[in-house]
Chain A
């Protein structure tokens, strides 16, 4: 019998709404929810069943037998594994207190569960991966608007002009957003793309700027300068809703198009032309403030400048601009319950110092990398146990070797994941989570122009001895005597409890797979936006009061990034639409399409080193050398080399991904704590690597 299940893709963190057809216990067809995506799905989305069928993911709980990372495992039962973890956690709590335990999970709609568990134990130390992703953008947005980076929806499809700084939007690939971009282009909209190299996004651009790496902030400042000089900004909006405009005008005085052209290695005439277009297209211009903007040591300020350009365009709460993300309350409704409501707020101070030592950072998930400091120094107190849920810090933060040294101070390392992560391979215990097609997830509210409730229903029963996250967490909570915080015995009970205040029921999801709070997009009256900006002044703070209080300037004078020494290059990384970073490299169908990455080298630079397309090259940083295939292109800045992130995996049980391609983060030697002091993001593009033709190239024929 065939059945059809509404669910949510889990191949990447976009979490597209899907409909799955199932025969027996096999998913036979997955498509994007017709009501939202009209069927559209990316390559990864269709490769989900290949993940389920893959025997190269953990098939039952595993406990380490040899040394950490040695790869000797004992397969154990769930009861045994959960007892083991609970005993170790209890021992840590008894000796060091609950705050000696930290947990990390994916950001997004489902962080509740892990956060609630951390709090229930009595530890404040919940965190996630965001210091290697969007923290700079988030904090920049808060300093300006008083709202985080998810506080606005970008109405791209109705825009006349989309400006992207290093945001490779068509490869990073959120299908709904990609379709908005394509719709905008179909309607004659303009796309401006700024990057150190050409990308699948840039080939669709109207204007393309190949800038010197690390100079985004310079170009953004020049745009502000020229727009102000030409009086091309929305003066009424600026007057009404912003503070600090005059200071900004004064600050950018020296940052002209001519200056930026020199700094970025582009033409002043092209900048002027862009400024003309922006003024003509305003207010329907969207400056994307960046997504993964943990790159350079001024990325926080670059993002702040881009968002400030949004304010100058006066594009807030206008069609084709930035729209406030609306919640249930904006539609007169109530949101679903969250598990964190049940657990007590921990009183201990965070071990990462966020909110105490670092007042400038939002407490929420704190900053993962700072916990490594606490581990290594026992300051402010020791961290002895760590649980990572579907998060692989070795794949996302720099210098895994340094991370391992810090982790060696821990008594317990647990990985809860659907696949073998590099972190999991170093862990003491692997608790295998069921894949997204085999598990239910909690109900979540997605804010937007039309806020909605979304959920993931399992399409099939688990095909290996794996469990869904709620069962795993509840299993641990019960053993730790924390049952009262996780009172629901089944997902159905949990869902019903979550839905209670909303007035909706599970039956309401049957028709479309989601529930909407409004029929039409909800827009605020643009003349009454006072109080919508949650800054101290209630306005868009071009000069931020809070930054001032904490001793940081709202605008940092531009500093030219250093050029790499001779024979070295700045290592930058990015994404392919085929893989979701390290997560999918071993998926049989995706691996078939893209089994390894390459190193992009500027053609002329390659020529100087005698490197030809397809040659093997050594990429060297400190004591780490990676060998990878060279790809020569004219369309990368000569100071940079580029690779797709996620490869170079070293887990022998993942036979397809094992040692295929190179890993950028392993080359980021000594960069683990290289943090943007204001934004909290790691500076992931501040590593120089040496490149040379590898001795591993076939020199002469030696065999028959």
Chain B
């Protein structure tokens, strides 16, 4: 018996390709996005930004789920997702 089939809504539910945008003018280096990202996509770089705050960087956006947690958690509204497949409606 075949116990596994492809979910019918796999196309709808599959993670959409995203790019992560970090706004260097807004980020204050609190590190929340890097700490709580479930996939380890973001990391504190150990360098300072031009404003003197710790800088966060994208290690591997291929691993990103597009869950949006980093975007929701950022106290500075300073990180957000850009959907690569966005098309004009």
Partners in one complex: no
Q: Which residues of B contact A (CB under 8 A)?
A: none
